[in-house]
Structure 1
Amino acid sequence: MKGQRGVVRFTQSILNRFGSFRLSSGIWYLTGFTITCTLLIGCNQIRLPKIDSNGKGLFVSGDTTEVTQPFKDTEKIRDLPTIIPKPAFRAPDPGQNSDEGLLSDSNQNAEEKTQVTAGMIWTTPKIMAAPIGSAVVLKAGLVGSKRQLLSGRKLEWTVSEGSPGIIEKAGGGNPNTFRWLFPKYGNKTTDTYAHTITSERAEVVHQDTNDYLDDIGVAKGEAWTVVSSDQKGTTEILVGASTETNWDNQYQRILVHWIDAQWQFPNSISGDAGSDQTLTTTVSRPSDNYPLSGWTVRYKLVSNRQATLSSQANNEQLDTIDVTTDEQGKASIRVSPNINQAGIVYVKTEVIRPADVSLETPSLVVGQSTVAVTWNSPGLSISSSSPKIVKLGQTIDCLVTISNPGNQTATNVVLAQTIPSGLTLDSSNPVANLTGNQAVWNIDNLAPQTERQLTVRYTAEQAGAGNLSFLVSCDEGLQSEAESLTSIVIAPLEITIEGPRIAKLGDDLQFQILLHNTSSEAISGLTLLETLGPGLIHISKSNPLGNPSVRKLAFQSRTIEPNSTTVKAISMRAIRTGTLCHTLQATLSNGLVLEKKICLEISAPIQPGTTAAPVIDAKIINNQTIQVWEAGQENTIRFQIANQSKQPITNVKIKTTLPTQLQAQLASEGHRSEGQSIMLDIPTLLPGQTRALVIQILAIQAGSNLPIRMEVTGDAISKIVKTNQSKVINNTNANPLDLSPPPVEEPMVEAEPAPPTEQPLPALKPADTPANPADQDTFPLNEPPVQPMNPTPVDTVDDSRPTAKPEHTDKPTVTTTNEDLQGLEESKASAIPTNNSEEQLEEQLEEQLEEQLEEQLEEQLEEQLEEQEVAEGEAGDAPTITSDEPNTALEESSETSDNRSDITAKVLTLNNPIAVDDENVFFVYLRNNGDSLAANIMIQAQASEHFDVISIAQKDSDADDFSNAIKHENRRVSVPTMARLAAGTSIMPYQIKVNAMKQGIGKLTVTVNAEGMEKPIEISGEVEILPAK
């Protein structure tokens, strides 16, 4: 830089003028001490005068340079190491790689890429043109062995003798302030020669102006020069690297053609749809503004092909056209649209300088620009949709959508239709103007990029094909058509529902569904869906209390022969008064949907001769007689109520409040929670009926006189409050988060009684799962969990059919529902003895559970045998229950085979729901229920995007065992391979701690594989994540 050279000359002149002189030792010590302190403290916040880059003086008056952190970015100048720091100027924006960079696919063809070799000098551009009086930036770099540009390399730039033009500036990255101490390693510029050091980093080189447009973006390994010329001709610049040992000794040549011309490109234009638009480019000489003729202007379509190009001399419709400038220096074309509607095309314009024989210069593209040509017009389009098939007499809803895709308003839009024969227009919005079978809708104006929808309802009065055709138009002359075809058929199935139409609150309601085939062909593939309205619940022999969460029942009907009738039976109970309805939807194989809706009036029961208030008996039943818990100990408590009056009690609620030292883990299905309170809503408690809220509780903190409070409220009863006192003592040997059963002698493995082979998990769910905020009796349709004993689990419903006996009857399958197992679980919890040891308790619990399970299975077996006798041996007519209730946080999967290991896994979550930023723990259990050893067991867990995995632990295991188990970047946990798991044993649970990062349903999926398994086991646990507190 000139400023740097000025500093050197200034220093040398001082030495030459005053000669050599000896400094005193005190001055040397003071100077050394000052430099040392400056380097150590970093010169933070020191402001120095700014160096004059023009070379007229040492410093520029007024301006300063702030040196903030001199050691922040120490530079290695060439290969010479130095302790002198480069100045930490205000950090500029990072430079961008050149658009014509060394490895740029968009600017070099394949042939040029193959020519790039190690040791060569890369330059950009190689050939260019510029108006005289302007300046251009040229870049170069030395190619390394890996086809990369090398930093810190010296390049030499030379303007060939006889070429016009000079080198104004040259450099690499932002210069080092102290580089003037080593001038041969810095940058030096004369009018025809410069040597530069390639940049150490990508950065922006700032000039001495306030205009950011003259800043130069430099990539790592690039050096640059600025060349200008005030006369016409071609400047030849040679670039070499004579001081570099790895240079291939081949100079690279850059040609800059200086032209005495300027041009004015056309601007973007717009016009009416369908009209031709004109683009004109003007070329002139800047010295005297004289128009230049004979120059070539090339126009090219670069977007879609919705238009063509032509000129006065060439009427052919083209995509690319060359036009020569006339005596006025102008070159014009026409842009003609192909369609009479709104649209836009983009046209690229290139100015091409003609070849100059006298100067031996070829023709060259010297400038280019792209403009947009837009046609303005409203657009008009229409679409319609209607059912493909309906029955005769049914209504048809047709949805019509009218849109304006243009960029102007469509005025006075009108929709018209000729109503097909056999259809009658019922209603629409807006209302149609009818004249005979002609319907007209006035839509009014339609703004650009908007749409309007209307629903037109017809009644099908004649069988056949109904073609619903529509025509839309506007004042601008635009039109569009749409049509939809609907087949009108005579329904081959007649549905009749027989049952009560008036009943009392709490009555059990029996309905018979008669499906009669009125056609001459058999009906197969019939699907039935029963939807229960608010106030009705489905009941069955296996579930006499019903499940309020089941709102839809799906049936698969057998083939119905011509002129035959199939009967289905379904039972319900009314739990509220008023008008209650249920709807049956039948879907035939051809897509025809038939519906039948039945409503009945439910009134409150009359209790003559009694005015006694209803009575509820409330109890808190604890499995343990001693109310002292150890921290980390679990307990199950039943909060039970019974209606001891002779009338039903409505809107009953059980509310349980726990102290902070106790934490609910699981609770009865259908509960909801608010903080430390857990509630169960019971719409109707019938006379003599008993209901219970069962809660599994974990003691997490020591405390005394801990109240467990129970409140019972309902219509026409006084509030009932019950309280039990508990005490929690510390247990230093127990992990308060460990939910596993106690281990046996073998480390990491514990024995526990094997549950019945087909027994599903208890029908409890995480205690903090929020209730559905909508109507408690309205639930969407979900598929039920698949039970192990039946691939299509169903609730048992009464089903009556023709009584002809089948020729043979297959052995029926027996299913155990979640409600049955929940009852068993509650019975087990309430029947725990109090005076036996732990081993006796386990044996009695197992015996009691097996007895109750056998009774349930025998009862279901008898019911299915009776149903098969009625249903002529058909097993697929029972309804499939669908529920909106989420699955419990406990899931179980197993893989079984004879005489081999049978691995069973399950996942349990500590809290559900949680809030964003809360921590939670998943417990992963594993058990070998087989009769042989399981070997080489691999467990992997994958968390969804809602979680961040924090840690994994296992009781009695060293934390170092899991040091490499977590992959935080993909939220995956890989548990070290387990060498073996003996038959009939289980592991201590793995505890995977996560942090909630995102609102939604968080999921942890666990995959288990072992030697000899046909396929891995995959289970998962879900947790609802609420917004941050």
Structure 2
Amino acid sequence: MKAQHGKLNSRISRCRTARDRSACAGWFLAACFCVCFSSCAKLSLPAIDPSGQSIFLPYPNSTQVRPIVSRDGQPGLLPAPAFTTPPTPPPCLDGSTDSSGFCNLLDHKKGHIKQKFENLHSSPGKAGEIQLTPLRVVAPVGGEVVLMAGICGPDGHLVNREPLEWMLSPDSVGTFIEVGDDQTSVLTSLLHPRDPKVEKLDVDFARGRTSHKATKITRGSPQCNDDIELREGQTWLSISSPSEGISRVTVLAPESQIWDRRRQTATVYWVDAQWQFPQPATARSGSPVQLVTRVTKAENLVPAEDWLVKYTIVDPSVAAFTPATGGNELIAKVNSDGQAIANLVAGPNGRGTTAILIDVVRPAQPSDNLPELRLGSGQSLVTFSAPGLALQAFGPQQGALGEPLTYVASLGNPGDVDVENAQLRMLIPEGTRALSVVPNAQTQTNTGIIWDQGTLASGRQLDVEVVLEAFRVETFQVVFEARGEPSLNAQKTVGTEIVEASVEARFEPAGGIAEAEVGSTVLYEIEIKNTSRQTLTDLRLLLESSPGLPEASQGQNTVEQRIAVIRPGETHRVGVNFRIQQQGQHSASLKVLTGEKLLAEKSSNIQGLPARPKQPDIGISIEFPQTIQAGSINNAVITLRNPGEVKLTDIKVNLTLDPSLRATQVDRDNLSRFQLGADGNTAVWQARDLLPRLSGDSGDMIWQLFVTLQSRAAVQQGTLRVSVTAAEGVQAEASTNFAAISRTVDPPAPVTPPAPTERTGAWRLILNGLGNPTTVNKEYRYALSVRNEQNQIDRNLHLEMRLSEGVRFLGVTSNGATVQHRFGSDGTITFPVVNSVRANEQLEYTIVVVPTVPQTMLLRARAYSDGRPEAVETLEQTTVNPQ
């Protein structure tokens, strides 16, 4: 019987269309009737639709079943099956070829169907945790408090359409007013007929339901700030009380199975009180301010006597309580007039604005069971107005006799009220006098200067500048005093130590020479050392010379240079070139001045000798390895020098090669000037004109020829010879020997050759600013040193430098002589190329600039050469202050 019912139910459940469902229903009733009465002779069952459009044919089509016979031939309830029973399929295994997983889904051993149905019918609310807000409320009597609750499911989300119960404890005051309902539509009600009901069953009991959508609770007022946002899964309840007391409202999730988390209780303290906070107050400094908070009850008719109001001053520097409380808090009792009073006065600052925080507190009373409650909080503002005097004064800490000393002072009113009868006074120390006063003062004597400002408006200030001159060495105190009404005073003192400026000077020709030929240039070295205890600024170096000894670059006999800053103990060095134009005794003098005061004076003499004829001279050398291998290729270097005093022209160099050598290549610069003879063993190099060394140079001017030679055979001793002649009637010659060793024969024991020269080191650049910081529109000098730290001569030295913007370039000198330069399109300043610099030779340059704006002035210098094509750079920074 159970089996028959199972097959019938299975067949009915497979109905797809409305016609099939109606046919199934009819056949189901007929089948149940026959099965229930075993006396039925025949059993009619639905007939299968052969067309395939539906499962069964419509009623009354049927299949007549023969009397039911069981397998053992006895009468039974079901007919014999129309088909033989198919064999039992193999069990479903995980990982089978059935990718849909349908076999495992129907396998009762796997339990998937059971788990699916359990998940579909399980309710998150059964494992939910109740959430209630707010849990503690202080509300005025007659008001309406809204409580919100929800159920948080195991997944951390609020659960909707879950029942909630609201209960008011028996000892509570107040009644439920309204319980929240999300007002579902008719369609939603039809789709969810089992949703919990929402109803208020009594004044202290109600049922609710968590909402299925977010909504907003509006209290009917035109303002939006009192609306309450309700999230999906929450519901609400409102409660009110006409009398003071406590309401304890418990909300319960009845279907939650977690007893310790399915309920929560909110406490509402109903208080009969109203309060009014004080308005912002403003007063002059020195006058008190009174703040009054009014607290009443019983509909604003009865004072809330002995209740408490707590006042807190946010900024104690602006205001303080009077009488003093020892802090920034005051607790005032409400008096019989319903007022809690706080008195304040200006704080240490004397002026300003501060917030006053105000809390209304209902103390615990024996007549009820309410605890002490903070009913409300607010704030007010208190402003104290007052005038003020702010005095600042500045001046030099050190100065020199006769040097102008500048003092500046500023008198301001930082208050918000005008200062009346404002006056600024400067006391002039004894032993000084005023050179200038800006602005002009109403009263000026030998002992003081007075500026009567009258009314000094709020936010305004008076600026003054006074230049003094000191007559004696001591420490002066320059005092500035300020006065104003009411009873305002300020004072500032600037101390200045007056010391006597002193320097040591050296002025003489370089090397201590006492005579030089007419037409030559003599470098005079100048050293200025600050021997005083103060920093000296803007020193003037005045150079004067006799008519036959003018300055070389400008051709003048009076030249002035300046030293911007020189610190105590510091030595400043500079060089000046003079040209001897006449025979006889010549003199030059140096004066060091600060302002118009002479600090030091030096002089020096030099004898002008008749110019002797300049002698030409020439030198030549040849470099080649002492031992080579037969068949190898090696370089020969021929070097021309001009150690004389005149320019060499029409220079011709004859080269004689050993027969075992063959010239194969010449350096590119001399390719057009080199001619190989027809025999292949001689050659002629027509070199360019060779200038003499300049005054102050430490090396000769040179030209070089590089010839590549191939060894054609072994030779025990070969020779290379060179000779040179010039149009000035000078000549020279040189030679070198070598040995060419065969590759197949062991070389004879040669004399050990000298170790080859290795290239080491590089260019070393040292850039120093002469005095840091400097000021705008004053000349400033840099000292640049360029040293060849290689162990051999280097050629074609290129020097470049760049200045930051806002700097004017005046020029550059080397050993007192002006160095020509040119400007590139990118602002780069390029010096003339130095043809050669010997090992450890050092070049010195002085660069003169004028900064035009306050800034951090930058000077970059770089150098590169044939031997060191990678550039070497250096950078110097100098602070430029305003004037």
TM-score (norm 2): 0.45
The higher radius of gyration belongs to 2
* Higher strand content, 1 or 2: 2
